[in-house]
A and B are shown apart, each in its own frame.
Chain A
Amino acid sequence: MPIARRRTLACCVLFAAAAAGAAEDPRQLLERMNKALTERNYVGTFVQFANGRVSQMKILHRVENGRVTERLQSLDGSGREIVGTSDELTCYLPDQNKVLVEPRKDQGPLLGTLPSFRPELVEYYTVEAKGTGRVMRHNTRIVSVTPKDEFRFGYRLWLDEETAVPLKTQLCDADGRVIEQILFTEIAWPDRIPNSAFKPQLSTEGFTWVRADSSLQIPEIAPDSLLWRAIRLPPGFRLSASTTQPLENPSRPVAHLVYSDGLATVSVFIETNERGQALSGHATVGSSAAFSTVVDGHQVTAVGEVPPKTVELIAGSVQPSGRPTGASSRRP
């Protein structure tokens, strides 16, 4: 073979390998997935397996002139629906003759996305392309995000080769056990979804409409109540936000601390336990875990899509700020 031809062939092989490598980059695939879930129109039906429950839903997601409209419809016979606009979520509960309305503070899609995969996350997760597969007669690329310890969950995602929409998603623990699975059984990407598609099919005549009283002024929380912190955290977790939430009683807001490793998130809520009703112990909330305890007359609860031991660790280490290390009455 002439040298020139061999060089051309070698270049072609290298180019093909580089192109294939670029296409297989799992981080790029995850970015494409987030973009697709946020910016594309899609209409699909999916089945969710979690905690021994099977739920079937239909979702519509439309982006028009930069505004997102979504509709999530239960197909289990209850007729329940959630319609989300950029401003609020409306929950139709025909089985209860009620409609609940809640202001929407975030603009993310109802199905959720994954945060951008920052370089430092490689210390806590392994991100790998796991080749290709077929889901629902679509070619998919499989991406695996595996935690490196037992304090967080990982994901396996089957992303549509063309659109990067996740046709199958698994939430897994560090041993690969599946905690939750979402499987699309039908999906389409229409260029246009008419307004009529977002109107509930049911009649709301006679329904009670319920919403939070928006006229209530939420007082500032006492500074002392916000000066709390978790003194022991799983590796990589940091305080990423702190705020107050009106929750049950807008006149008595609750301190809300958010700890994250960049992918997993745990919220810690601290409120004065004035009612004398203490929550204590574990809860399972869908695929998330919660743990509550009482510290110095305050109810401390951690909630997150992490293993139970993680929320227990974080909630159990929360202390009022300024207390000397080791001075907690609950720890030796």
Chain B
Amino acid sequence: MTEPLKEQLSAFIDGELPRAEGELFVRQVPRDAELRAAANRYYLIGQAIRAEPSSVRRGFSDRVAAAVVRETPATGVAATVSAGVTAIARQLPGPRLVHWWKPVAGVAVAASVALAAILVVQNQQGAREVPSIPGVQSAQSGPATGPVVAQVTPHAQPRSTTNEPANPYVVPPKGNSPQAALTAARLASYVFAHSEYSSLPGRRNVVSDAASQDDGSVPAPAEGQAP
């Protein structure tokens, strides 16, 4: 990538690129894999260089600087951004969802859209021991929480307000979907249901992932057998 393009990218990420130049640049980013990868790297670089010293640890800055020198592939940066979880899990074998949108066993339709947001599940057989973490309160003994018993709240029935659909609707058929899709759909359903209660980032996750282009290579979560 050329030096002027790098400078342009850096200015863009900081919101300092002139308007016309920014518009051109924005159109270019999603279409150019190298530029997209570089955008991620420079995004981190910008954070490391420009953030207040207290908000970015030295080690992190060093790692980013080293990544710049090495021009590591985008997956390396992604690993840094997502604290390693995604990158580690990407190395694991597992079934892939070729058609994440495939209707599955009565899945709420918008939830199936959220499948695009599922990156991966780390394959871990069996139940895990929960580590003891200092500072964690006991919900049973903690004064703030008290006895916590879930109460039944009747779920609102879905409503239809579309009077004249342009085409007939089709309810997704049941029972003819791949197991992997079913499992991924379950996770997607959780994400969608959660987004109703979450604030800024959770909501955005669902809507922006639904709207953004899927590359057709979203790995399905790994499955184990119930004990």
The B-contacting residues of A in range 141-176, CB under 8 angstroms, are: 146, 149, 153, 155, 158, 167-169, 171-173, 175-176
Is the Cβ of B86 less than 8 Å from the Cβ of A230? no
Rounded to whole Å, the gap between the CB of B99 and the closest CB of chain A is: 8
- Select B13's contact among A108, A183, A210, beta carbons within 8 Å: A183
Is the Cβ of B152 less than 8 Å from the Cβ of A278? no
Is the Cβ of A277 less than 8 Å from the Cβ of B200? no
Given contacts A233-B137, A281-B122, contact A316 B167 (CB under 8 A): no
Is the Cβ of B172 less than 8 Å from the Cβ of A78? no
Given contacts A56-B26, A72-B208, contact A214 B133 (CB under 8 A): no
- Select A305's contact among B124, B162, B190, B202, beta carbons within 8 Å: B202
- Select B113's contact among A100, A227, A304, beta carbons within 8 Å: A100
User: Is A63 an interface position by the 8 A CB rule?
Assistant: no
| A246 surroundings in chain B (CB, below 8 A) | 108, 155
Residues of chain A at interface, number, CB under 8 A: 160
Rounded to whole Å, the gap between the CB of B176 and the closest CB of chain A is: 14
Q: With A and B bound together, what is the CA distance between A250 and B153 in angstroms?
A: 15
| B226 surroundings in chain A (CB, below 8 A) | 273, 276-278, 294, 297
Residue of A nearest to B57 (CB): A175
The B-contacting residues of A in range 264-285, CB under 8 angstroms, are: 265, 267, 269, 273, 275-285
Q: With A and B bound together, what is the CA distance between A241 and B210 in angstroms?
A: 26
| B54 surroundings in chain A (CB, below 8 A) | 176
| A299 surroundings in chain B (CB, below 8 A) | 186
Q: With A and B bound together, what is the CA distance between A280 and B124 in angstroms?
A: 6
User: Is A40 an interface position by the 8 A CB rule?
Assistant: no
The B-contacting residues of A in range 246-273, CB under 8 angstroms, are: 246-250, 253, 255-258, 260, 263, 265, 267, 269, 273
Provide a sorted-by-A list of 16 A–B residue pairs whose CB atoms are within 8 angstroms: A52-B81, A55-B208, A57-B208, A75-B26, A91-B110, A167-B15, A176-B51, A183-B15, A227-B149, A242-B152, A244-B154, A284-B82, A284-B85, A305-B202, A316-B130, A332-B129
A sample of 10 more A-B contacts (CB under 8 A), given A111-B203, A115-B199, A185-B15, is A52-B86, A112-B200, A229-B150, A247-B107, A247-B108, A248-B186, A277-B182, A280-B126, A294-B127, A313-B133
